[in-house]
Amino acid sequence: MPPHHLMYAVREEVEVLKEQIKELYERNSVLERENAVLKSLANTQQLTQLSSQLSCLSPPLQLHQPPFIKNSGHSLVHHEGSQGVSYQPNITSA
């Protein structure tokens, strides 16, 4: 395969991946908002019970990532005080 065909194929794959990242970021945002609403509607006893049930099922997720990573136009940002990692795609045209 000539190099220009390979570059074209890679660019197409990168565009597909950028779109998937964008869709996942949007879905994650929706789920975070839904989670916040559900937490606000639950009482303390319900949250405590749910937390204890989840801790029995699996150990807590540990992310061993630096607070900020930038790679290939996408950034992984950890906001202090937030629960987890927020993915913020930096979509630019190639």
- pLDDT for res 19: 98
Both tokens of 88, joined, read 């913020």
Contact status, residue 59 vs residue 41, Cβ threshold 8 Å: no
* pLDDT value for 20: 98
The tokens for 1 are 């395969």
* Residue bearing tokens 């220009």: 4
Q: Give the per-residue pLDDT at 51.
A: 85
Query: Does the structure show a pLDDT above 80 at 76?
Result: no
pTM over 0.75: no
Q: What is the dihedral angle through the alpha carbons of 22, 25, 31, 37, rounded to the nearest 10 degrees?
A: -110
User: For position 24, what pLDDT does the model report?
Assistant: 98
Query: Where do we find the tokens 């990242």?
Result: 21
**Averaged pLDDT for residues 58-80:** 48
d(CA 89, CA 92): 9
